[in-house]
Structure 1
């Protein structure tokens, strides 16, 4: 099965975006994929802002992208675009860092006015980075994500069904485009 890098571009430690991604990671893992979570907020801010690709934490993040067969990119939407934190990491990746990879873009936000941020802000960047296949993404309103006191995440029924479908499409694309092992 494939290795999936699940990237949260949220700057918040209590992010609904990150929690949603970790929830969806379990669905991918249930299909047999290895899922590696990456919360960009855990990378050193100074290294990101200085574009220090030699910093061990940043170099490690870049290695995770290189090793992944697929990438889930999750971001909150601010000012009709993906987060600046996510942009700071994407800017450090090599130009064609997503070449040969299947990518699933996801976004969360407070208003349906931002629903097109995936297609008009994030998708062009992912495409320019050489993504082999960008699957249908999904936008979830913050108010449709609930976290209970015990940390259990619940997604509004309509969004849960749609998210399940886009994650399953992403998984199917990974399984169809799985790398071929060369034996020699």
Structure 2
């Protein structure tokens, strides 16, 4: 019974990370271009979603749950860092990301023209917020909740609820 409950927690946490990825891609589809830190925050969620899928297929394994917890904690740390950059608490990356494709086949002139037209997305500017919390802030909140779910998954049901 403990493994069944822990398996469900792992699948829930993995689905939560998949939902956060889907939300990020939806925002991007509607014109909110991601900055470098936004894209960086997606990777641990992708890892956690894959781990949740592995738990669904292979069954609960403590080591998988611990990897899921690690991925959620990395996502949380990156989101807190990004939120701090947005709030001007510390400096972020000094370079920006753009959307230039086909670099290998471009001439120097074409490359310069493409770079001039590429959207510049700064990591220290908030493009969207809800209740005064930016997307990075919401990611930090959601990642902390997911980390708690992964921790409960790794502990197992009996220990998670303080039973013997």
Q: More strand per residue: 1 or 2?
A: 1
Q: More helix per residue: 1 or 2?
A: 2
- TM-score normalised by L of structure 2: 0.28
Of structures 1 and 2, the larger Rg is shown by 2
User: Which structure's relative contact order is higher, taking Cα pairs within 8 Å and 6+ residues apart?
Assistant: 2
